[in-house]
Structure 1
């Protein structure tokens, strides 16, 4: 890792470097092979940052990592018998961010920062897939998009990488400012401004303000790509030395799609118009929102020198991420695994996707968190929307989802339809799982979606295991 010596790391995080008896060894001047907070991931010559979590204190594993050949340790307490140098800091998590910020400055890699209320992960996947046609790309893995995950992702960049595509997620003001300070993006992509994290951000205007902190440390010669169909993003002003580039389904955007053909759960086709090029693409992931993600990727790719053919191939090769609109064909049903997270906008998009399926449509929906004062109404709106989209079976789970259930029942009764849709409510997830086999039928298409804290991956695991 370029310039990542113990002395430089200590200076970067404002820590005090303590040496074992005998002073510096020659290996103390070498560059670290890795920087980790998980002791299981230490490599010979790596640096271990001991952090205190809610359940585990990393200081317990300092002996283990030194035996594993660690170059040094960053920690919050004195380690008098430590056989390798240690850097004493006040806050290990702050040290992690400071070290990542220092390391980012040593790199010539271009960084694409992706944020927005909905679709960050899918857009990141599309961009990485497209850019991989010509570049060696590192992308955010899993949910490593916050003030712990992003610095760890930056610290995983290596000399061979030419571009890093970083997902940047927040829930409060100031967080994106700090993430931008670490990532220093050359290209910023904003997907939309929805209704996530309203509890702290207050309104869509607050969300826009918080997300816009991504521009605080961006390259002044960099480019900004925004969803021009979003009523708030389309009004973003010039950033750095370039005007924002708009993508969307409307032809007034600089990058837009026409002739969109929806193939339901099998994805879609579209004709992309970008940089005076017009070309047809096959988008393998389902949902109209995936067309927007493909447009963002096309814009970024062509800005970085890719051809229309490169973009076309990269879009065709994109793969679904577990828990993110991942369609699984099981022996007795089709499962839409969208359980990673949820807010009102992504709930409606997932219900739209489910409504495209043939046969009986089942939505297993759970609570959405961090929505603030209007959370009851927002849950109710989702219930009403599911009924209006003719979902055959709606299974609501969780305390807040009681409002989803009540509004769904009210909407069903008001419609006075000849066919009464099935609507259920369960207070607890595990209670619902026990009853679930009695509610499902062979041939169902089943959507599973809730906020991450509901742990609906356990519902997906139950359905998959039941199929085996």
Structure 2
């Protein structure tokens, strides 16, 4: 890893190197936190968790050919080098910030209330048509996940696409300090994390902390159809690039046509010309993702042909509107996370499916004091769609059911208190040929529902 010698690591995190002098100039080959996944020549970062302190595994890890470890504890004289630090978590952030500076490659930072991951996937798909691109994997988007993503970068990479997720004030400031983005993309200001951020204005304030460490010559790309983001007139003296459906935006789309579960087509307009495109994942929100991808692609010098090819090459990821043909059912795996906006968007797509349309919806988390009303709102919306069956699971989802039954008394609507109760009854409820949407907040563990349906 470029310039990540043990000496430089100690300097970057203000730690104290303890060990043989001749090893100070050795570069680590990797940095990891999971003691079960040791990497020869790597640096182990032991994190204190709520139940487990990874410092307890240092001795075992160092027997596996690991070069060195961080430690918050003075280990005394050891046969291996270690770096004594005040906080392993802070140290890993400091090291990531230092390492990214050594690579000197452009960083695209992505945040927003809804659609961060799908937008990240779209932007990476576009940029990959011209650059060796590294993107955030899974949910590695927080104050530990972001550094671990950065540590996957190597000198052959030409650009990084980093997702940045938060739930409280100050977090984005700290993430931006690590990533120091050259381009900031914000998808929207929705209703996530109201428990901590209280209002959409609070969310706007927290998300726009991403600008705190924006490269002075960088770019800001915002959803111009979002009533909060459109109020951002300039960032460090530069006018943002706005994207959206409305033609007031710098980059916009029309001729939008759902193509069932094959995707959604549209025509994208830019100052450099227009092009038709088939986005291979369904949902109206995917048009916004394609527009964001177009804006970033143009920023980094891609042609319209390269951008179109990138959009059409997009692949779904597990839990993010991943369509699975089991032979018996068509399963729409959208169970990674949920909020009122994304719930409605997924229900909209389900209505374009063939055969019986079944929605299995679970509780939505972190909605604050309005959580009951927001579940009712989704229930009413689900009742308004041409669904054949609505199944709700969880304590909060009972409010979905109540509202849905009140709005559409003749619809087939079920409620289960737990996921386990649902799984017992599911084979009797579903029919061959059904298209089944599975969606809930991550804590509901609905990936188990998807696994059962796949086995069916």
Q: Give your verdict on TM over 0.5.
A: yes
Q: Once structures 1 and 2 are overlaid, which stretch shifts more, 50-59 or 240-249?
A: 50-59
Q: Distance in 2 between matches of 1:447 and 1:185?
A: 36
Partner of 2:446: 456
Aligned to 1:433: 423
1:318 CA drift (Å):
0.6
| Unaligned 5+ runs, structure 1 | 414-419
Q: Report if the CA contact (8 A) 2:329-2:453 is conserved.
A: no
Would you say how many aligned residue pairs link Structure 1 and Structure 2? 456
> What residue number does 1:24 align with?
21
Offset from partner CA, 1:363-422 (integer Å, 9 cap, x none): 111111110001000001111100011222111111111111111111113xxxxxx211
Instruction: Tell me the SS of whatever aligns to 2:359.
Output: strand
> What's the CA shift string for 1:312-335, capped at 9, x where partnerless?
111111100100011111211111
TM-score by length of 1: 0.95
Counterpart position of 2:15: 15
TM-score normalised to structure 2 length: 0.98
1:225/1:247 contact within 8 Å kept = yes
Kept after mapping to 1: 8 A contact 2:12/2:98: yes
Alpha-carbon distance in structure 2 between the residues aligned to 1:380 and 1:390: 18
- The equivalent of 1:303 in structure 2 is 299
Matches within 5 A, 1:341-356: 341-356=337-352
Q: For 1:90, which of 64, 77, 86 is the aligned residue?
A: 86
Q: Where in structure 2 are the equivalents of 1:143-162 lying within 5 Å?
A: 143-162=139-158
Alpha-carbon distance between aligned partners in 1 of 2:169 and 2:63, rounded to the nearest angstrom: 41
Are positions 1:189 and 2:179 aligned together?
no
Question: 2-side partners of 1:258 and 1:410: how far apart?
Answer: 36
Distance 1:294 1:77 in 2: 48
Q: Following TM superposition, where does structure 1 have runs of at least 4 consecutive aligned residues deviating by more than 4 angstroms?
A: none
| Alignment map for 1:268-417 (pairs within 5 Å) | 268-413=264-409
Could you list the runs of 5+ residues in structure 2 that have no partner in the other structure? none
Partner of 2:154: helix, strand, or coil? Answer: coil
Q: List per-residue Cα deviations over 1:175-218 (Å, max 9, x = no partner).
A: 11100000000001111111111110101111111100000001
Residue in 1 that maps onto 2:222: 226
Find 1:139's aligned residue among 122, 135, 145: 135
Task: Work out whether 1:6 is the aligned partner of 2:6.
Answer: yes
Q: Say which is worse superposed, 375-384 or 230-239, in terms of deviation.
A: 230-239
Secondary structure of 1:93's partner?
helix
Separation in structure 1 between the aligned mates of residue 249 and residue 37 of structure 2, nearest angstrom = 45
Residue deviations 1:270-308, cap 9 Å, x none?
111113211111210110111110110011011101001
Tell me which residue corresponds to 1:416: none
**Following the alignment from structure 1 to structure 2, what is the Cα–Cα distance between the partners of residues 424 and 282?**
36
Is residue 207 of structure 1 aligned with residue 203 of structure 2? Answer: yes
Question: Aligned partners of 2:328, 2:36: CA distance in 1, in Å?
Answer: 39
Which among 67, 70, 77 is matched to residue 74 of structure 1? Answer: 70
Task: Give the conservation status (yes or no) of the 8 Å contact 2:334–2:438.
Answer: yes
